[in-house]
Structure 1
Amino acid sequence: MKAPKDADARRAIAPVICYPNDNLRRPPLDTYRAARDKATETNRITIPPREARCFYVTAGSFFRITCSEGAQVGDLNLFEARNLEEHFYSGKTRALHGSHINVGDRLWSCLPYLRPMATVLTDTLDWYGVDEHGGRVHDVIGTRCDPYTHHLLTGEDYHHTCHSNLTRALADHLDRPLSEAESLVHDVLNVFMCTGFSQETGQYFMKASPARKGDFIEFFAEIDLLCALSACPGGDCGAEHSSDSPQCHPLEVSVYAPPAGALDGWYSPSHNRYSRRHSHD
């Protein structure tokens, strides 16, 4: 189709941020950090390569995900510990904060709850910024590798995708059938993953994670959480995923609890206060 005469003028229209976040309540990072300095480790979990595990974090505690042996991407699901219908909402997190999360950003729960579930407190990769390809780290744009897309593209079954890993982990942890656990799996936070969109086609791309042994990202739990984390079969996601070819490493999760009184004045956020009338009346 031939471009109209005013094509350049149409393209030159200035963009508008869809969800200005200036009015969002800012997390009290100084308070969180002071509490973290006094916190002690209460649990440690190892996520084996190409597998997933579940763990709990109570509100007011901290959890750290570490590349314990080398660069390794992880796919993270979050649930409210007693109500699995409330879970992480990657799309709204992306809309409020951007395509990749940074220190001070929050992971938001799905509708109708829409409240902070966790806040990014520390990230040893916060130096990375944006590279020449438009790549950034810790994305909320990728959905998770899954066996259905793999079969669509290759005609083959592969069971160590992050979707399948999370399904198995939740089924085991909750003692539910795989079919029931699968319905709980949702779009993820891709920790340590370096991604973006190509300038030429707009396609989602991945490149080798800049993480190295010892790099970590740490969160403050705003509510009681059930977490499920998969060590992606793509390893550092520099070549391919849904395959046994990439070198993969474990991920280590450490949970820390501050002493009583360390968070005086802090309170866990309530559900969104929209009336839910959905009516003009």
Structure 2
Amino acid sequence: MLNYPAAYQVTKGSALDVDRDFYRRIASRHDTRKLVESIVVPIRSGQAWTVPAGHVFRIVTIEGPQVADLNMWNRHDPRERFWASRTRQLQQAHVSTFDRLWSTLPFLRPMVTITDDTLANYGVDEHGGRVHDLLGTRCDPYVNRMLTGEDFHFHCHSNLTRAILPYGLTEFDVHDVLNVFQCTGLNLDDQYFMKACPAKQGDYLEFFAEIDLLCALSTCPGGDLSVPMWGPDARDPLDVCRPLGIEVYRLAPEMLVGWKSPEVAEYRGLHGLKAEVPDWKKGG
């Protein structure tokens, strides 16, 4: 089968082109960063935190393999939030170093750039599985009820909902996710599959915040996904659930020379609509 070209091509100097030398320096110069926040997210729970633009944050497997679901919003306007499907088109269905996570319309700008990924060399396994996917979305109690007839309150959707309540957001603000450390793909029947998480203790995925962020992470109740949760062999995977760590770093000012937070999309049209001036505004 031929490798058909991507729909969205990266050309030098285009909006999809990334200054790799800049992000390589950020990833490698650990002596120029200072840890300003460290969080442990317990099993089957969620946590929200803020990241100022120009800072770096990591999601870390502090005890061993565990998958997680990540949401992000503009800290000052949560109407701007991570857009998984457009990111899947502009970047890849599974993201890694130098990929960006883009925001929704009408904003459309990179929210973060991935600067480091200890699983970058996982590649494609014998089943077509890859890590850090945008193919699937969060597990939720509604599908669980539909498929099992039972209620469970610690799915990723619920964990994220609880996590963002202190920031004035609700269930309606939870959106499609980046599945961090999760190994997934499409089988020969074009159906989504999930495999056991390949991460080891100490693995991490690192992001550079392009704008001021509110982030939320759920430690998936499926743990490392090594235990089937659906079908005849399904059982509670509690024993393969592990906490995750969040680390936020402030960078030295010299590391940000030449960088600026991206502006929102330039389009200022009215989608082909024409606004007429009301008669009372035309005057006599």
Q: TM-score, normalised by structure 2?
A: 0.88
Q: In the aligned structure 2, how far is the partner of 1:13 from the partner of 1:134? A: 16
Q: Secondary structure in 1 aligned to 2:255? A: coil
Deviation at 1:123, TM superposition (A): 0.5
Q: Which moved more, 1:31-40 or 1:210-219?
A: 31-40
Q: In the aligned structure 1, how far is the partner of 2:201 from the partner of 2:87? A: 28
Structure 1 stretches of 4+ moved >2 Å: 12-36, 238-246
8 A Cα contact 2:26 2:115, kept in partner = no
Deviation at 1:279, TM superposition (A): 1.0
Matched with 1:278 is 271
Deviation at 1:280, TM superposition (A): 7.8
Q: In the aligned structure 2, how far is the partner of 1:207 from the partner of 1:90? A: 21
Deviation at 1:25, TM superposition (A): 4.0
Q: Secondary structure in 2 aligned to 1:79? A: strand
Q: Deviations over 1:251-274 (max 9, x none)?
A: 101000112232111000000111
Deviation at 1:34, TM superposition (A): 2.9
8 A Cα contact 1:136 1:194, kept in partner = yes
Deviation at 1:73, TM superposition (A): 0.3
Deviation at 1:14, TM superposition (A): 8.8
Deviation at 1:143, TM superposition (A): 1.1
What pairs with 1:202-281 in structure 2 (closer than 5 Å)? 202-240=190-228, 244-246=236-238, 247-279=240-272
Q: Secondary structure in 1 aligned to 2:173? A: coil
> Aligned pair 1:193/2:187, yes or no?
no
Deviation at 1:24, TM superposition (A): 3.1
> Which of 135, 139, 143 in structure 2 is aligned with 1:145?
139
Q: Secondary structure in 2 aligned to 1:262? A: helix
8 A Cα contact 2:23 2:98, kept in partner = no
Q: Deviations over 1:214-235 (max 9, x none)?
A: 1111011110000000010111
8 A Cα contact 1:233 1:241, kept in partner = no
Matched with 1:5 is none
Q: In the aligned structure 2, how far is the partner of 1:25 from the partner of 1:90? A: 16
Q: In the aligned structure 2, how far is the partner of 1:39 from the partner of 1:119? A: 17
Matched with 1:26 is 17
1:21 counterpart letter in structure 2:
V
Q: Deviations over 1:205-248 (max 9, x none)?
A: 00001101011110111100000000101111223459742411
Q: Secondary structure in 2 aligned to 1:256? A: strand
Q: RMSD over aligned Cα, in angstroms?
A: 2.0
Structure 1 unaligned runs (5+)?
A: 1-11
What pairs with 1:1-281 in structure 2 (closer than 5 Å)? 15=4, 17-22=6-11, 23-35=14-26, 37=29, 38-171=32-165, 173-174=166-167, 176=168, 181-199=170-188, 201-240=189-228, 244-246=236-238, 247-279=240-272
Q: Secondary structure in 1 aligned to 2:142? A: helix
Deviation at 1:35, TM superposition (A): 4.1
How many percent of aligned residue pairs carry the same amino acid? 48
Q: Secondary structure in 1 aligned to 2:201? A: coil
8 A Cα contact 2:227 2:237, kept in partner = no
Q: Secondary structure in 1 aligned to 2:121? A: coil
2:242 counterpart letter in structure 1:
H
Q: Secondary structure in 1 aligned to 2:179? A: strand
Q: TM-score, normalised by structure 1?
A: 0.89
Q: In the aligned structure 2, how far is the partner of 1:212 from the partner of 1:14? A: 32
Q: In the aligned structure 1, how far is the partner of 2:208 from the partner of 2:162? A: 26
Matched with 1:8 is none
Alignment: residue pair count? 264
2:237 counterpart letter in structure 1:
S
8 A Cα contact 1:207 1:239, kept in partner = no
Q: In the aligned structure 2, how far is the partner of 1:61 from the partner of 1:245? A: 35
1:90 counterpart letter in structure 2:
A
Q: In the aligned structure 2, how far is the partner of 1:244 from the partner of 1:276? A: 52
